[in-house]
Structure 1
Amino acid sequence: MAARPPRTAIVTGTASGIGAAIAHRLAADGWRVVGVDRARIDDAAHLAAQVTLDLADIAAIPAALAPHVGAVALVHAAGVMRTGTLETLDPADGATMWALHVAALTAMAQAIVPAMDGGGRIVAIGSRTSAGAAGKSQYAAVKAAMVGLIRSWAIELAPRGITANVIAPAATATPLLARADRAAVPPVLPPIGRYVEPAEVAAYAAFLLSPDAGAITGQQLLICGGASL
């Protein structure tokens, strides 16, 4: 019997952090991984293809992903965090986060989902912060909006065998955390006494993309080291 060709997953934010960990994990699991990032990756042997794209440029997304229509999985891990208390919020920061976390996810899904066959998967990397956090109100709002999108799509796409879920980590040991405004948002370790590791989030994503997760859809799944307790 001929070997089944590898399934294709489009993963965003593959230059670093959670996105990079997911891309490596899926490639190790036999996926054909298309990496999307505004930074080009020099050490990209694990990627089947690279798309160098600033996802905030929403209008450019359909053409950039057109060669990869037929992917059966979309994992949106690219992210940016802007922090600040109510008195210091900058509307431009909110617009930037909305474009990347919500508008880009929508544009990618519109480009990819029509060609997905049964068993398609959408996974968005959200945040435990979607429940609210001091100094992160705009970030919390866009991550909560992401949950609304995913839950709505889960209902719409279920008859086609496509699942949609959010993975919501607590503070994760990534460059994004290192760049956070520590004055506005002091780092707090979860009860396990350490930050979540990107590889742990990647393992969760790999499971949600597997056949074993076919009955899981419309969920926000926490990986928070006990921070939600």
Structure 2
Amino acid sequence: MDKRPHALVTGASSGIGAAIVERLLRDDWRVTGISRRPVTFDHPAFEHLSLDLAEVDSIAAAVADLAPTALVHAAGLLKVAPLGSLDHDDGAAMWRLHVDVAERLADALAPRLPKGGRIVFIGSRTASGAAGRGQYAATKAALVALARSWASELAPRGITVNVVAPAATETPMLKDPTRATIAPKLPPIGRFIQPEEVAAAVAFLLSDEAAAITGQQFVICGGSSL
């Protein structure tokens, strides 16, 4: 029987999700990665689960046979618009992917998580509010509320629930042409956050050393919050 810890990671095909997969494989985890698009990982400890998370009613069945040690929800979507020009379909899509998917995955998997299991959501520094990003920020703020609520519920089982909230991160999403009207802000450190830096924070929160940390939002902002 394989005794290595097993993580289920969403958004595994690119960006932060891919960086998390790479980091966990390097740390000797088994990883099941969820994404719509094909993945490039060629590793004996990696398994790809092809799934469109927007089809939320299919999630419970898709993960029914999985019993991971940890859940990392990194799949994300960013659409920006100022008040007066909001696209309500975009807002609904972000809520579905960030919040509804988190609810469904956690609801399906939490009963099967072992004592000492881990849940980590990828949030955003904008969860406290950001001009032109209101719809997106609201979904990320909701993740913090979910994490704090579930951290309280799951603490007696030694299961932690946390949020890692980066500022603008060097991913394909950063270069999305639809963001041209509201450009990402460069942090005071003079560069964007790297996906590997976010992955390192996630890896720590999944570790035994982080067993006493739960219900928290870890902000990785390069000084943007100062």
TM-score (norm 1): 0.95
Cα separation, partners in 2 of 1:183 and 1:134, compared to 1, 3 Å: same
2:50 is matched with 52
1:19 is matched with 17
TM-score (norm 2): 0.97
1-side partners of 2:135 and 2:125: how far apart? Answer: 14
Match of residue 224, structure 2, among 218, 224, 227: 227
Cα separation, partners in 2 of 1:156 and 1:180, compared to 1, 3 Å: farther
2:39 is matched with 41
1:76 is matched with 73
Match of residue 91, structure 1, among 85, 88, 92: 88
1-side partners of 2:198 and 2:154: how far apart? Answer: 24
* SS of structure 1 residue aligned to 2:63: helix
Aligned pair 1:66/2:64, yes or no?
Answer: yes
1-side partners of 2:98 and 2:149: how far apart? Answer: 16
Gapped regions of structure 2 (runs ≥ 5)? none
Shift of 1:63: 1.1
Q: Is the 8 A contact 2:13 2:40 kept in 1?
A: no
* SS of structure 2 residue aligned to 1:100: helix
Q: Deviations over 1:116-152 (max 9, x none)?
A: 1111100000000111111100000110011111110
Q: Is the 8 A contact 1:154 1:162 kept in 2?
A: yes
1-side partners of 2:44 and 2:160: how far apart? Answer: 25
2-side partners of 1:186 and 1:120: how far apart? Answer: 38
Which letter does structure 2 place at the counterpart of 1:103? D
1:8 is matched with 6
Q: Number of matched residues?
A: 226
Runs of 4+ residues over 2 Å off in structure 1: 42-48, 180-184
Match of residue 164, structure 2, among 159, 167, 181: 167
CA RMSD of aligned residues (A): 1.3
Shift of 1:98: 0.5
1:123 is matched with 120
Shift of 1:90: 1.0
Question: What is the identity percentage for the equivalent residue pairs of Structure 1 and Structure 2?
Answer: 55
